[in-house]
A and B are shown apart, each in its own frame.
Chain A
Amino acid sequence: MYTQGLNAADKAPPAIEDAGRLGAFQARIDAEQKIEPNDWMPEAYRRTLIRQIAQHAHSEIVGMLPEGNWITRAPSLRRKAALLAKVQDEGGHGLYLYAAAETLGVARETLVEQLLSGGAKYSSIFNYPTLTWADIGAIGWLVDGAAIMNQIPLCRCSYGPYARAMIRVCKEESFHQRQGYEIMTVLARGTTAQRAMAQDALDRWWWPCLMMFGPPDGESQHSDASTRWKIKRFSNDELRQKFVDATVPQGHYLGLSFPDPALRFDEATSHWHYGAIDWDEFRAVLRGDGPCNRDRLAARNRAHENGAWVREAALAFAEKRRRKAAA
């Protein structure tokens, strides 16, 4: 999902930790107790959470870019106000998440540096371009729909600050998916050209959205520990299936078709069966070779550099006032 980069193995040497404390920690997790910032926790738990929450935060921040692309060209004031509010929400969600990561003892500035230098991962989905207005509908409906699928179980994650951030995010995000589907509905009921635009957006976003859930179960190297620690409640494939089952009828309702000839409803399992996902494309995008990777990082770096004087001036002014008050 927003933390697909976790599927790479943790390279740090395992810490030597007291078996008694480890056992007591796991017992607390098993009893569904929340772990809080000052509680003792295994180093690997701390490291996994820092990486996961940071990747999640980076995804929110980079996720502002594809949609920001259409703010000035939204087709009406109503659409523009909604899109502005949505992009502002994504920025807020990034900040909630950086704050949750900081409770684990890492500075937000360090995490931002990692993103800007290209050392950190963010969700593969934000490396695809938004070519038409229909893409804004498809992102809200599909990308936010997939994100919500993933984030609802994270509200019950064992780490208190992450779970609380997710509760806020989920509460605010329910409008994102609805506004996207509304855009798709209007286009699907519009002129032939508008219908074609909606179909084209679905054709381009469908497979990248299925990739958002990460590699198939069995290839994911982080799942076991994350499941044991109750950071992850459902497997990648389980969440992907839930998303497909929820989304396919919504697409059919709009009279749109999915770009998957193998897609069919399986009466026996009551699930929608989908075709093979192109994992080579997924790995290429994660590696940095997607359609927009370089562009996204360049935009973030530009914004960070252009804002440097504001940060410096604010700190200098605070320091000046402190000195004045002390004198």
Chain B
Amino acid sequence: MTLTPLWEVFVRSRNGLAHKHVGSLHAADATLALAAARDLFTRRNEAMSVWVVPSNAITASDPDDAAMLFEPAESKIYRHPSFYEVPDDVGHM
């Protein structure tokens, strides 16, 4: 059985947004990964640019740490503009 490396594919759409993860694929090297990504994820004019990244190059947070990492932000509503009161007479700010 031949095992080919796994790649993660990121695509930037035409509207100028950041590259977005769209899926993964197998390919022997970066050139073939790009060619396969183009065939697999951009058949309907979805992209201006494609990145492929070896899957094993990605370091991910541990789901068990999710509470420790992300819960602290929940209580900090003063980081959002709607927390602050501005008199109506001032108009849009």
Contacts and interface: CB of A to CB of B under 8 A. Distances in A.
Interaction A to B = yes
Interface of A: 36, 38-40, 85, 88-89, 92, 95-96, 99, 102, 107-110, 113, 164-165, 168, 172, 311-312, 314-315, 317-318, 321
B26 interface: yes
12 contacts: A36-B63, A38-B60, A89-B43, A92-B39, A92-B43, A96-B40, A99-B23, A99-B25, A102-B24, A109-B1, A314-B28, A315-B4
Contact of A99 (B24, B28, B39): B24
Band of interface residues on B = 20 to 34
A113 B27 CA distance: 18
Nearest to A308: B2
A276 to B, nearest CB: 42
Given A38-B60, A88-B43, A314 B29 contact: yes
Given A36-B63, A99-B23, A321-B29, A92 B40 contact: yes
Contact of B28 (A39, A110, A172, A318): A318
A89 B44 CA distance: 11
A36 B62 CA distance: 11
A311 B1 CA distance: 11
Interface in B22-48: 23-29, 32, 39-40, 43-44
Query: Is chain A's binding surface mostly helix, strand, loop or mixed?
Result: helix
B2 A315 contact: yes
B64 to A, nearest CB: 8
Contacts, number: 52
Contact of B3 (A107, A164, A317): A107
Contacts of B2: 109, 311-312, 315
Contacts of A102: 6, 24
Given A36-B63, A315-B2, A318-B28, 12 more contacts: A38-B63, A99-B23, A107-B3, A110-B1, A164-B23, A168-B23, A311-B4, A314-B4, A314-B27, A314-B28, A317-B28, A321-B29
A4 B71 CA distance: 42
Contacts of A110: 1
A312 B4 CA distance: 10
A108 B28 CA distance: 14
A318 B62 CA distance: 32
